[in-house]
Amino acid sequence: MTWSAVVRTRLGALALDVQLADRTGVTALLGPNGAGKTSLVRVLAGLLRPDAGRVVVGGEVVCDLGAGLCLPPEDRRVGYVPQGYALFPHLTALDNVAFGLRGRRTERRERARAVMAELSADGLVDRRVGALSGGERQRVALARALAVQPRLLLLDEPLAALDVGVRRTTRAYLGERVRQVGVPVVLVTHDVRDVDALADHVVVLEEGRVAQEGTVHEVGGAPEGAFAAEFFGVRT
């Protein structure tokens, strides 16, 4: 399963102009603050309508501005874990996972319960979000994204909200689950350890454009530009 995007849009002072074709595996999206990473993720999710472009997910055109087509998020089958997870604090973990599903309430809750069990989060179903640890919230957010059986999974700084002490175990857990699901992933991160543990490919954005792309080995071994050099310089 692949995804591709040709996106052009202006967001304040930022002119986002990105072309990425036939991406598979886990693509780490890197760049300085304000480079357009989250904006691109929101375009892929359908939360932000670009000025021009085309987005294809799993062989289906979900956005083609030239043809007047731009499907809403709920019709794209894209799983999205935003920064901070955006869980509903007044709902239980189970109802958070079931929230975006379609069908009768009992059917949605059954599907949500099954996904949480697959992620070893079934012990959290009746707990409120406020009673969950950072790692537990991350599992609930991931379950919510996977419950829609996505053709593309978007992870925007999925570990940034966690305490340093639990990032390592949660990173390992996330890597195992992402590989198990087998759908393409876009991972926004500022941590080189996330790239090393999770990513297959790297795309570096600077000022809304692709400054460099390639495998983790290619970009990490020969970074181009000040940002990439500093980012991967942490290795040594």
What residue type is assigned to position 228 of the chain? A
pLDDT band at 236 (very low <50, low <70, confident <90, very high): very low
Least confident of 116-125, 163-172, 178-187, 192-201: 163-172
Q: How far apart are CA 42 and CA 57, in angstroms?
A: 14
Question: Of 161, 145, 162, which is closest to residue 153 (Cα–Cα)?
Answer: 145
- Please report, for the chain, the start and end positions of each structural domain, with discontinuous segments joined by +: 1-77+152-236, 86-149
235 has a pLDDT exceeding 60: no
For all residues of the chain together, what is the average pLDDT? 93
Cα distances (angstroms) measured from residue 174 to each of 11, 85, 202: 31, 14, 18
**Single pTM value for the model:** 0.92
Looking up tokens 């198990």 gives 180
Q: What is the pLDDT of residues 46-95, one digit of tens each?
A: 999 999 999 999 999 999 999 999 999 999 999 999 988 999 999 999 99
Residue 70: the pLDDT is: 96
In the CATH scheme, what is the homologous superfamily, with its name and number, of domain 1-77+152-236? P-loop containing nucleotide triphosphate hydrolases (3.40.50.300)
What residue type is assigned to position 102 of the chain? R
